[in-house]
Structure 1
């Protein structure tokens, strides 16, 4: 699973999402930025910032 934690981009935000692929993670993150943080325009550099913060979720045994 791929994981994005909004707090890595917006300090103090505890929202996170998981999905099987980066495209779905980015879609959810963009939706979150619009609804929770009032972003009306999502520029390409914002998408790149999201992508650079997506990580493989560590699975605990």
Structure 2
């Protein structure tokens, strides 16, 4: 079975969509490791996404 960890940054992704706070603004400018996605897992053999956050479209 082939498994890919798509995000492991925590339960809240940063930057949040449309948020203009200082933390989210800094994360947009600096990128990784300041920017992080929420937890998610992809099982390639069955094309299954598990615990997918709202920002999954960043990987499309």
Query: Which TM class, normalised by the smaller chain length?
Result: under 0.3
Considering fraction of residues, name the structure with more helix.
1
TM-score relative to the length of structure 1: 0.25
State which structure, 1 or 2, has the greater radius of gyration over its C-alpha atoms.
2
